[in-house]
A = this chain, B = another copy of it.
Amino acid sequence: MLAEIITIGDEILIGQIVDTNSAWMAKQLNLIGMKVKQISSVSDDAAHIIEALQQAEKRADVILITGGLGPTKDDITKLTLARYFDMGFRRDEETLQHVTDIFARLNRPMIDLNRKQADVPDRCTVIKNQNGTAPCMWFKEHGKIYVSMPGVPFEMMYLMEEEIIPRLKKAFQLPAIFHKTILTANIGESFLATEIETIEDQLPPHIKLAYLPRLGQVRLRLSGTGTDEKLLHEEVESYAQQIITRISKYVVAEEDIALEKALLDQMKKRKLTLSTAESCTGGYIAHLITQHAGSSAVYMGGGVTYSNELKMSVLGVKAETLTQFGAVSEETVREMAAGAKKHFNTDYAVAVSGIAGPDGGTPEKPVGTVWIAVANRYRVVTRLCVFGNKRAQNIERSAIAALSMILNELRQDED
């Protein structure tokens, strides 16, 4: 079963935004056993959109379209689809009500442009977009399925997860697919490969193992395809357990979750609390943690101590330490972690101080120099990382390294 993704909108073609939607959608489709044949980004131009539709329907069974559904003149996806399928328009009352409700809730007056969001091509099935005013439209035409979704990522994601994927599973006879992901940290990809080589060599052809490395963490994904769902499930699980047993000290989760979610789950189970003291990561670790529902059971809060003044007043770092060793030093980060643990009254505290760049480096402490400390009831451990010269990457790598360090301490603490 083949799918294609068509992204509509000039903002991708002029390079203003990176198309992250398509990769996400491709991943979801692959998970249900639907291969993506092509991803095309085309302009807000009717003739061009129609050409893309014609070509996609020759190659694929399902065509997923994102973008071009806004209320303004430059958004022409809906009009173009109606023209392509030779349909008139009808007003969808449920959508009108939904749009009206949204405007009422936001306490904003509604204008004709907004009402037009409820006008849809005759023969499409409207799927309610919980998170926005543009409705999602499902077409069954030319013997294929077409779905038009808004390009706003969270609107599209919600629709894909809650509506489109379940409907596609129903519409097609898809083979059983079972994925099992093992999240590892504190070990590199090639070391991991050597460790589990003998298990990998025994895998039958219908079970594949993928290494998905990303910034200091490696996900191992076993994917099995078959006809008997239950049998397949058992078979994949049995290989997964062999792998988990072999590399147990690097396994942080037996499911496809984020590293910080694995951390939250472990700490919650053990009723431990956590606080953060961030300098160069600037709140990114706190953000990673608090994006997860229920994080407040573990995470009490923290300080984003960008200035030296705040390192002193919020965390109790000594002025002499900052003067003698500098803000980016083992001594400072150690006091930051200990201070956070004490002042925020938590079982664990993590602190990060570094030079994210692009400026601020010196010969002794070049851009990318990052100190991390983790404090718990037993000790404060520190680690020096030397990353590269890209600010965003340094922030992300520091955060991942900090989370991995806490996970490592949790394991020590358990032993």
Contacts and interface: CB of A to CB of B under 8 A. Distances in A.
A391 B276 contact: no
Given A114-B190, A154-B390, A314-B314, A211 B72 contact: yes
Contacts of A22: 12, 15, 19, 41
Contacts of A18: 18-20, 23
A309 B300 contact: yes
Contacts of A152: 214
A381 B289 CA distance: 29
Given A12-B23, A190-B71, A304-B302, A286 B282 contact: yes
Interface in A150-202: 152, 154, 158, 179, 188-191, 193-194, 200
B154 A393 contact: yes
A316 interface: no
A306 B293 contact: no
A271 interface: no
Nearest to A368: B105
A359 B293 contact: yes
A301 B290 contact: no
Interface in A1-51: 10-20, 22-30, 35-43, 48
Contacts of A309: 300, 344-345
Nearest to A28: B15
A266 interface: no
B301 A11 contact: no
A206 interface: no
A395 B52 CA distance: 36
B304 A303 contact: yes
A15 B11 contact: no
Contacts of A111: 190-191, 194
B42 A27 contact: no
Contacts of A42: 37-38
A164 to B, nearest CB: 15
Interface in A269-327: 276, 278, 280-287, 289-291, 293-296, 299-307, 309-310, 313-314
Contacts of A301: 303-307, 310, 314
Interface of A: 10-20, 22-30, 35-43, 48, 52, 55, 70-74, 105-106, 108, 111, 113-114, 130-131, 152, 154, 158, 179, 188-191, 193-194, 200, 208-214, 221, 223, 256, 276, 278, 280-287, 289-291, 293-296, 299-307, 309-310, 313-314, 343-345, 356-359, 386, 388, 390-393, 395
24 contacts: A11-B212, A13-B37, A14-B27, A15-B23, A18-B19, A19-B19, A38-B43, A38-B52, A73-B200, A74-B209, A74-B211, A281-B290, A283-B286, A283-B302, A283-B304, A287-B287, A290-B356, A301-B303, A301-B307, A303-B303, A303-B314, A309-B345, A310-B344, A313-B343
A-B pairs with the 6 shortest C-beta distances? A282-B290, A283-B286, A15-B27, A283-B283, A15-B26, A301-B306
